[in-house]
Chains A and B, each alone.
Chain A
């Protein structure tokens, strides 16, 4: 069953009609939007592996010769990472490391905001996070599945301490993420309680129909459309993507029994089912007591999960269509990784048709303070977001309006996307 205006999302249509634009007024941009939507270009999907707290670059992807973890060879001659990530080392031809991230902000919350939105935080208004941007720009229109799903993004602390949450801001609330807390549990509130959901929905239907007939108003239409989308998701075969128990035990074991690995597997299923952006959050990388030991025990499950994901996507032919990004909100102090360090750190990219098997950007070598600065090819937060958007097929030159009617570019105009990644 289709909307009578299949080319435009219902919400937009209702909004436009509420503004009186569908009644006898010529608005050229509406027509071109309608035309474009039906042939909306294919975008790519993205799985963001968000290592919350700031993972130490010198203990993962940018080790230094006399550092705590020595550089070891990988499957690509000339590229070295730490020994503790052997599976990823053997997948290096499918990875690209950007070692010259330089993002100015050393505070957790502000840095997370900066790296999720490409803009510095202001209390005046909010910017949309990259997942919401993807949902809005390349999400499948009018689809059973949500376009943006977060896994394990968590709750605020009882003392009020905040976690960063992706918000859609001026892109519209339909681009807010759907949250999965524990991948083993699937999507919250997806399955009906009780055993008579059909009877209850039937009980509801009669009154809703009468109400809509009596009150032919946009708010009613919007509510019923949202309700319908929710029921559609509940009923859709594709919502089974949220269920990990449908995967063979051997594959689940390959991803690893740790929650991170299972989250990666869930992300693959969701992308297969049409979700455009999955953000896996894993907290606990804020190693203020030194990074060596904690990363030594984290590395096995991180290695297993991420490498299994890349291999699994590759073998299914999904890797070219799915961008993977591994990152935190900054890196850590060179040497022991004790503190926050935004001056020179690393992100890792895979899939999505990008140019892999390469390292982009360098940090200083030494003998004094290796890694204390970048040598070349700085990649700022706007550069990063611009690159990500382009990789997904998003036009970065768009502008949007904040609630105060102030125009804001999707990506900072000064952003220089990393062309070497995009090829």
Chain B
């Protein structure tokens, strides 16, 4: 087991770190060392890391690797790619924004296990693509923002495993893609400009529709604002008056309701008394007193009945007035409420309208760009 003397390491390490900061103010990196053939895979990995590349397992438990030069420190040159060929099981090679050229792709072609190759924003052109024809296992090829055009695509015709091809920001046209797809129908090419246009059109349609709705809603809200907002105080007064009226009507209805109940009770009692008196009289038909009482009771009951009817009518009237007052009060409240909220509503509607306008403008611009 190795031991490590922290002090010694750190001393030289810190000194070196600071020396670098001081000596190379603009970049703490040295020039990339030239290619030296590695003795074995381990050494190749070391060289790759020296250049700022990384060798990683594709995922836990996998036996395939990726070699990632995206953040390479010094200038990567074509010869350095030979290190990759010295490794086994390299399935992915990332060369985005590196300084390799078409010549480097000749070395890439030696990595026979390659399934994915990223060449975005490199100096690769149609010429370089011819080397890639040897990569039988290649599934994914990223040529975004490179110098390739329709002329280079035929080189890829033999790649039967190719399923993804990225040609954004290149001179490749839809015609070139169609040609390629004849030989490799499985391949999905990104971007699909026709499809993108179709979708962008749909988006613009929706944006138009939503804008029309927003305009209408804004018009409504604006109108309401202009109508009601200046009348806020007036409508508040109206609401207060309607409330007063409502309270009064309610009080009256309650009062008359109570009265009606009282009187109805009295009537009921009187009817009961009359019925009893009648019974007594019928039991003793010869008793003149009883007969008189029965008649009197009945009159009283009739009188009470009349009063009860009167009270009922009054109650109904007051109820009707109460209902009217309530309806009026609700309406006044609602109107006042609308007046209060009209400003906010209009502002919201304005925001929605502005956003909808912006959406239409942006999506139309996108459609135009796609149609060029």
Expressed in whole angstroms, the minimum distance between the Cβ of A68 and any Cβ of chain B is: 13
Q: CB < 8 Å: which of B59, B349, B351 contacts A393?
A: B59
Q: CB < 8 Å: which of A84, A202, A232 contacts B210?
A: A84
Q: Is the CB of B71 within 8 A of A143?
A: yes
Inter-chain CA distance A22–B45, complex, in Å, is 25
Residues of chain B within 8 A of A86, CB atoms compared: 202-203, 206-207, 210, 363
Inter-chain CA distance A268–B142, complex, in Å, is 17
Residues of chain A within 8 A of B56, CB atoms compared: 39-42
Please classify how large the interface on chain A is, using the bins under 10, 10 to 19, 20 to 34, 35 or more: 35 or more
Q: How many Cβ-Cβ contacts under 8 Å join chain A to chain B?
A: 174
Q: CB < 8 Å: which of A26, A84, A297 contacts B351?
A: A297
Expressed in whole angstroms, the minimum distance between the Cβ of A400 and any Cβ of chain B is: 18
Residues of chain B within 8 A of A209, CB atoms compared: 14-15, 18-19
B55 at the A/B interface (Cβ < 8 Å)? yes
Q: Is the CB of B14 within 8 A of A293?
A: no
Q: Is the CB of B4 within 8 A of A17?
A: yes
Q: Is the CB of A90 within 8 A of B21?
A: no
Inter-chain CA distance A238–B50, complex, in Å, is 18
Q: Is the CB of B144 within 8 A of A213?
A: no
Q: Is the CB of A2 within 8 A of B49?
A: yes
Q: Is the CB of A212 within 8 A of B10?
A: yes
Which residue of chain B has its CB nearest to the CB of A201? B21
Given A2-B49, A299-B355, A315-B168, the answer on whether A14 and B6 have CB atoms closer than 8 Å is yes
Inter-chain CA distance A107–B2, complex, in Å, is 53
Which residue of chain A has its CB nearest to the CB of B206? A86
Inter-chain CA distance A206–B28, complex, in Å, is 17
Inter-chain CA distance A72–B352, complex, in Å, is 19
Residues of chain B within 8 A of A140, CB atoms compared: 54, 71
A414 at the A/B interface (Cβ < 8 Å)? no
Q: Is the CB of B9 within 8 A of A41?
A: no
Q: Is the CB of A208 within 8 A of B18?
A: yes
A235 at the A/B interface (Cβ < 8 Å)? yes
Q: CB < 8 Å: which of A2, A26, A299 contacts B1?
A: A26
Residues of chain A within 8 A of B40, CB atoms compared: none
Q: Is the interface of B mostly helix, strand, loop or mixed?
A: helix
Q: Is the CB of A1 within 8 A of B17?
A: yes
Q: Which of B143-179 contact A (CB under 8 A)?
A: 144, 164, 166, 168
Residues of chain A within 8 A of B206, CB atoms compared: 72, 83, 86, 89
Given A144-B71, A253-B362, A304-B362, the answer on whether A315 and B144 have CB atoms closer than 8 Å is yes
Expressed in whole angstroms, the minimum distance between the Cβ of A257 and any Cβ of chain B is: 8
Residue among A1, A75, A393 with max Cβ neighbours from chain B (10 Å): A1
A417 at the A/B interface (Cβ < 8 Å)? no
Residues of chain B within 8 A of A24, CB atoms compared: 1, 3
Using an 8 Å CB-CB cutoff, how does the interface string of A275-313 with B read, 1 for contact, 0 for none?
000000000000000000110111111011000000000
A195 at the A/B interface (Cβ < 8 Å)? no
Residues of chain A within 8 A of B275, CB atoms compared: none
Given A6-B49, A202-B22, the answer on whether A216 and B355 have CB atoms closer than 8 Å is no
Expressed in whole angstroms, the minimum distance between the Cβ of B222 and any Cβ of chain A is: 15
Given A3-B13, A41-B60, A228-B17, the answer on whether A216 and B7 have CB atoms closer than 8 Å is yes
Q: CB < 8 Å: which of B1, B16, B68, B369 contacts A1?
A: B16
Residues of chain A within 8 A of B199, CB atoms compared: 75, 90
Please report the total number of B residues contacting A with Cβ < 8 Å: 72
Inter-chain CA distance A293–B346, complex, in Å, is 11
Q: Is the CB of A4 within 8 A of B9?
A: yes
Using an 8 Å CB-CB cutoff, how does the interface string of A1-41 with B read, 1 for contact, 0 for none?
11111100000001001000011111000000000001111
Given A41-B56, A317-B142, the answer on whether A205 and B355 have CB atoms closer than 8 Å is no
Residues of chain A within 8 A of B7, CB atoms compared: 216
B191 at the A/B interface (Cβ < 8 Å)? yes
Q: CB < 8 Å: which of B19, B57, B365 contacts A39?
A: B57
A57 at the A/B interface (Cβ < 8 Å)? no
B58 at the A/B interface (Cβ < 8 Å)? yes
B348 at the A/B interface (Cβ < 8 Å)? yes
Expressed in whole angstroms, the minimum distance between the Cβ of A321 and any Cβ of chain B is: 10
Q: CB < 8 Å: which of A2, A231, A316, A395 contacts B120?
A: A316
Q: Which of A126-163 contact B (CB under 8 A)?
A: 140, 143-144
Residues of chain B within 8 A of A198, CB atoms compared: 25
Expressed in whole angstroms, the minimum distance between the Cβ of A384 and any Cβ of chain B is: 21
B281 at the A/B interface (Cβ < 8 Å)? no
Residues of chain A within 8 A of B62, CB atoms compared: 41
Q: Which of A162-215 contact B (CB under 8 A)?
A: 198, 201-202, 205, 208-209, 212-213
Q: CB < 8 Å: which of B6, B27, B30, B351 contacts A17?
A: B6
Using an 8 Å CB-CB cutoff, how does the interface string of B209-230 with A read, 1 for contact, 0 for none?
1100010000000000000000
A221 at the A/B interface (Cβ < 8 Å)? yes
Residues of chain B within 8 A of A254, CB atoms compared: 362, 365-366
A419 at the A/B interface (Cβ < 8 Å)? no
Which residue of chain B has its CB nearest to the CB of A308? B366
Given A212-B15, A297-B348, the answer on whether A42 and B59 have CB atoms closer than 8 Å is yes
Residues of chain A within 8 A of B352, CB atoms compared: 293, 296-297
Inter-chain CA distance A221–B9, complex, in Å, is 11
Q: CB < 8 Å: which of B11, B58, B349 contacts A216?
A: B11
Expressed in whole angstroms, the minimum distance between the Cβ of B342 and any Cβ of chain A is: 14
Which residue of chain B has its CB nearest to the CB of A84? B210
Q: Is the CB of B11 within 8 A of A212?
A: yes
Expressed in whole angstroms, the minimum distance between the Cβ of A146 and any Cβ of chain B is: 14
Task: Show 28 A/B contacts (Cβ-Cβ < 8 Å), sorted by A.
Answer: A1-B20, A1-B30, A2-B49, A3-B13, A17-B4, A17-B6, A38-B55, A39-B65, A42-B57, A42-B66, A42-B68, A89-B203, A202-B25, A208-B18, A212-B10, A216-B6, A220-B10, A235-B26, A238-B71, A254-B362, A296-B352, A296-B355, A300-B355, A300-B362, A314-B190, A315-B168, A315-B191, A317-B140
Given A83-B206, A235-B27, output 7 extra A-B contacts at Cβ < 8 Å.
A39-B65, A86-B210, A89-B206, A213-B15, A221-B6, A253-B365, A316-B142
Pick the 10 closest A-B CB pairs, nearest first: A300-B359, A86-B206, A216-B7, A90-B199, A212-B14, A317-B142, A315-B168, A297-B351, A198-B25, A300-B355
